[in-house]
Structure 1
Amino acid sequence: MGRKPAITRGAVASAALEIIDRDGMAGFSLERIATALHVRAPSLYNHFADKSEILTAVARAVVLETPRVPDPAPGQWREWLVSECVEFRNTLLRHPNAVPTVFAYFPESLLYKLYGRDSRLLAAHGVPSARALFLLEATHRMTVGSAVCTATGRPALVELPRPDSTEGKDWRSAAATDADESLFVEMLRAFLDGVDLGDKH
């Protein structure tokens, strides 16, 4: 029987993400990953060419953590797309320290795969193929941008709704994520309702 590898690409990505989640990028290093996996740092180069390739694997792991939203009912593709974006944003915000890393190292091959899958779904629901990629790119950018703002504490410049359940509390900190999500959903819906699908001629 062959000897089982001491480490795998998945294990390295998981260890790196755990370090970033806990200590941010300031705590990220090959030495700390190796320590977490009980190996020597140079052995990581048997699996990854360099640090940026590890960060790409971290970004991929976060993206693939996103739950898949069931296919929409007829005429409900807009709400489906909103739900997809909310799920991805929620996944990103489970790893706030990693959000800038996902933004910077999002693997293009995975993005093309996801765009291809979702373009086919939108086409099946009557969205012209010439507009499907535009919709996906625009909502993807909105999603990542919203997550970056929330994860880094950048406040919205519009009044956020104040949930009734926060009476007497520091509602800005206690409900900031919920309020930001409500604003995000409202922006998505406004965009999708106003977009010209180019199929009315």
Structure 2
Amino acid sequence: MVTTAIELIDRDGMAAFSLDRVARALNVRGPSLYNHFADRSEILTEVARAIVLETPRVPDPEPGRWREWLIAECREFRSTLLRHPNVVPVVFTWFPEKLLDKLYDRYSALLAEHGVPESHRLFLLEATHRMTVGSAVCTATGRPAALELPWSTATAGTDADADEILFVEMLKAFLAGVDIGSSR
């Protein structure tokens, strides 16, 4: 059912999404959906969860490479979101908080292994998460990057390429500017 909801939203957008349309696509009656989900909000939370879980995980970083790893994780999540541009607002609005807590715990432990002080871990994760979701929302809703990056050596071929370059450069600048008090 969640896959069907994602397909409908991908194809027709949230404005056209309804439980009746999901039921018709599944060849069932609308009320039968309530045997599996309490309400529309619960279905949309599961849609968001499915998109987050669709994101491929990046292998754990090598020593001293946690910044590159975190950028790669953010790029993977953003890429997954942008494969479903009509679903991005769903993920933004109905983000599965319990899943986010699990991911933050896992990533925080990984950052700890790389010498990132406890006082900085949640800040880094939350800030890069917000940058990732915000960038995806802008791109998915048709607001491409409004500036060129004179310091970037890459040449953008499309608006999507320019947005990707801007996103990565923002993450690099942010992470370079955070003094974590560790040389590892």
The TM-score with structure 1 as length reference comes to 0.86
The residue that corresponds to 1:5 in the other structure is none
Counterpart contact for 1:48–1:54, Cα < 8 Å: yes
Q: How far did residue 116 of structure 1 move?
A: 0.3
Counterpart contact for 1:69–1:84, Cα < 8 Å: yes
CA distance in 2, matches of 1:120, 1:67: 19
The residue that corresponds to 1:170 in the other structure is none
Counterpart contact for 1:128–1:198, Cα < 8 Å: yes
The residue that corresponds to 2:168 in the other structure is 185
Identical aligned residues as a percent? 71
Per the alignment, do residues 164 and 199 of structure 1 end up closer, same or farther by CA in structure 2, a change over 3 Å counting? closer
> Is 1:47 equivalent to 2:36 in the alignment?
yes
The residue that corresponds to 1:78 in the other structure is 67
Counterpart contact for 1:131–1:198, Cα < 8 Å: no
Counterpart contact for 1:162–1:179, Cα < 8 Å: no
Q: Deviations over 1:79-120 (max 9, x none)?
A: 000000000000000000000110000011000000000000
> Is 1:15 equivalent to 2:29 in the alignment?
no
The residue that corresponds to 1:95 in the other structure is 84
The residue that corresponds to 2:134 in the other structure is 145
Bigger RCO of structures 1 and 2 (CA < 8 A, at least 6 apart): 2
CA distance in 2, matches of 1:199, 1:74: 13
Per the alignment, do residues 162 and 198 of structure 1 end up closer, same or farther by CA in structure 2, a change over 3 Å counting? closer
Regions of 4+ moved over 6 Å: none
- State the one-letter code of the partner of 1:185: V
SS of 1:68 mapped into structure 2 = coil
Per the alignment, do residues 82 and 32 of structure 1 end up closer, same or farther by CA in structure 2, a change over 3 Å counting? same
Counterpart contact for 1:119–1:133, Cα < 8 Å: yes
The residue that corresponds to 1:9 in the other structure is none
> Is 1:196 equivalent to 2:179 in the alignment?
yes
CA distance in 2, matches of 1:188, 1:164: 18
5+ residue gaps, structure 2, are none
5+ residue gaps, structure 1, are 1-11, 167-174
The residue that corresponds to 2:56 in the other structure is 67
Q: How far did residue 162 of structure 1 move?
A: 10
CA distance in 1, matches of 2:159, 2:81: 16
Q: How far did residue 165 of structure 1 move?
A: 8.3
User: Number of residue pairs matched?
Assistant: 181
- State the one-letter code of the partner of 2:81: L
CA distance in 2, matches of 1:163, 1:111: 32
